Each structure stands twice: as structure tokens, then as C-alpha cells.
Structure 1
Amino acid sequence: MFREIKKNKLLPAVTVTDVHSALLVAEALLEGGINVMEITFRTSATAEAIRAIARELPEMKVGAGTILSPDQLSAAQEAGAQFGLSPGLNKQVVEKAQEHEFPFIPGVSTPSDIELALTYGHKMLKLFPVSDLGGENYIGSLEGPYKHTGVRFLVMGGVNLSNLKSYLESDMVTAAGGSWLTPSDLIREKKFKQITAIVRESVILAEQG
């Protein structure tokens, strides 16, 4: 499943409050050239949104984000999520994912987090919040001690059109994600064509990175 993230180089982090909007966002992403997305566990509509996308738009690879507990991970998998992510590294969540053979990307922010993730066998890691941590300079500092381990980052937190290309130019970065691809105000205002336009612009930049 991570192949799709690596192939797209982009992972939209989508927060929705209703299933219908989730489907329209997924369609806007597909039209813009991205076939992978995460629905964040930040509203009561998350599980049903995942279920609807998995059922009605099978060409979209849908995952669950902001997984903070084993129960949320189980709910995500039961809804049809094909992968999961978290902002941090919760041992209980990681172990639950391994128990259920559920593709999972834990979040890291420090060398200690990275080393703990490695003890669990995770090498695809969400570096969050990357911009607040120091952006490209921080990633460069991590390259020396960790590049040889096979660790690669999905960078999230402060990524946008202005810095996307520079992040993707790093050998340590596999993909970049975030809500800039599907701004909540555009979802709320049902401006899905504008979301498609942002996605298309991002896809072009990603191809150059």
C-alpha cells in the first residue's frame, strides 16, 4: 500500500464532517491526479466516510489518519481503510497494527522516536510537524545517522505549495502530505473544482521534486 504513497509523492490529509463531502473530495482528488488519501479521525463522520469511499470509489486508496488509540485503528480497519497513520508513536497502536497486519505509518519527531520505530521494524515514518521541527535543515541533520538504516519520511505539518518541491528533493523524503491539498474552507464551501486545481498544481511540483 505504501507503494501508492511513494508513487503519488503526495498524501492529502482530509477532514470531513459528512460522507457526501468526503466522496466529492475523493472525486476531486482523482480528477486532479491523486489516487491515495487519508481521512483524519477528527470527526464522528470519519469511519463512515472511509467506508463510503472504499465502497463507491475503489480506485481511490483510502487510509485513516490521526489514529490515537487501538480502538480507532480497529474502527479504521473495519471501515475499509487500507492503511493508517498517527501523529506520534503510540506503542499500543503500533502493536495493534502489527497484530492485525494493518499497514501503518507511525509519527516521529526526534531521534529517539526514530530508533523506537526501527525496533518495531518501521522504516516508513511520518515526520511531524516537519516545519516546526526545522524543515529541510532538520531532515538534513537526520540523514547522517539514519539514512543508511533505510528510514524514509512522509513529511507533514506545514507543507504547502511554496515548500513542497524543496522537501521532495531530499533523499530522505518519500512523500509529502497535509491539508493544503484539501483546505477545510474549500470543502465547507463546496468548491471542489478549486481543490482539483490545487491538486493538479501540486502533482506538477511533485513530479519535479
Structure 2
Amino acid sequence: AAVLAHAARIGLPFAPGIMGPSELQIALRHGCEMVKFFPAMPAGGPSMLKNIAAPYAHTGIGFNPTGGVTPENLPDWLALPQVRAVGGTWIARRDDIAAGNWDVITENARAAVARVRDIRGA
């Protein structure tokens, strides 16, 4: 709550990390329109997020799951209408960043965008 209040004071758009309904309620009380669901897979995966999000659908809150999101489970996450974005370390691996493999990272990002378009039909 303190971080949310500080972000609001300095005009910083901020999507706090949440793992459960109580944290989601705090985010909503602070006017958040988007939250990060982390760690997504250890917290119960798409099924858990579906159950957390359901009672709050009327709020319009969006979710960005990170932590265990992979190209393989991406369709399961994107099947949830409340998921507006996902994060995945497969796009920019630590060793690629350290080596300056920007072409690999760029291609991974392009492939991820194409995969999302294929899944969501955008």
C-alpha cells in the first residue's frame, strides 16, 4: 500500500504484484487498473488466476501474469479475458542480455508477439 501511495504522489503509473484477493483489493482501493500476478505458476497458474479474477470482473481490472509463463502455457493464460499482458523470461534470457545478443532477443520478442496474435486472433 505504501508503494502504491508513493507512486500516486509522484504520478508514476504502477501495476503492483499480487498473489491473492486481499492484495488485489488493496490495489483496487488505490485505483489500479492493472496488476501483476506473480509468481504465476507457483501461485496456482491460470486456474488460480481465473478464480481470483472472477469476483472482480465488474471492476475491469487487468492482469499481467509473470513467473512461469512459457510459450507452451501461453494459450492457457491468454484464454482468460482479464489477462492483458504476460511476461516471460524466454524473450530476453539473462545470458543473451549479458552477451549482447540483441538480434536473438529481438527475434524472440517478434515470435512472442506473433504467437499472441495467433492465439488471440488479433
- Report the TM-score, using the length of structure 1 for normalisation: 0.54
Per-residue CA deviation, residues 46-79 of structure 1 (Å, 9 max, x unaligned), is xxxxxxxxxxxxxxxxxxxxxxxxxxxxxxxxxx
The correspondence for 1:203, drawn from 85, 88, 113, is 113
How far the C-alpha of 1:141 sits from its partner, in A, is 0.9
The correspondence for 2:39, drawn from 129, 153, 164, is 129
Structure with higher RCO (Cα < 8 A, 6+ apart): 1
Partners of 2:65 and 2:83 within 8 A in 1? yes
Where does 1:95-134 land on structure 2 (aligned, <5 Å)? 95-134=5-44
Partners of 1:139 and 1:172 within 8 A in 2? no
2 CA distance for matches of 1:143 and 1:108?
11
State the percentage of identical aligned residues: 34
1 CA distance for matches of 2:11 and 2:96?
35
Where does 1:12-27 land on structure 2 (aligned, <5 Å)? none
- Report the TM-score, using the length of structure 2 for normalisation: 0.89
Normalized per residue, the structure richer in strand is 1
2:102 maps to what in 1?
Answer: 192
CA RMSD of aligned residues (A): 1.3
One-letter code aligned to 1:121: G
2 CA distance for matches of 1:98 and 1:192?
34
1 CA distance for matches of 2:82 and 2:95?
32
Structure 1 runs, 4 residues or longer, greater than 3 Å off: none
Unaligned runs of 5+ in 1: 1-90
Aligned pairs, number: 119
Partners of 2:41 and 2:67 within 8 A in 1? yes
How far the C-alpha of 1:167 sits from its partner, in A, is 0.9
How far the C-alpha of 1:186 sits from its partner, in A, is 1.1
Unaligned runs of 5+ in 2: none
The correspondence for 1:172, drawn from 82, 88, 100, is 82
1 CA distance for matches of 2:17 and 2:70?
19
Partners of 1:151 and 1:172 within 8 A in 2? yes
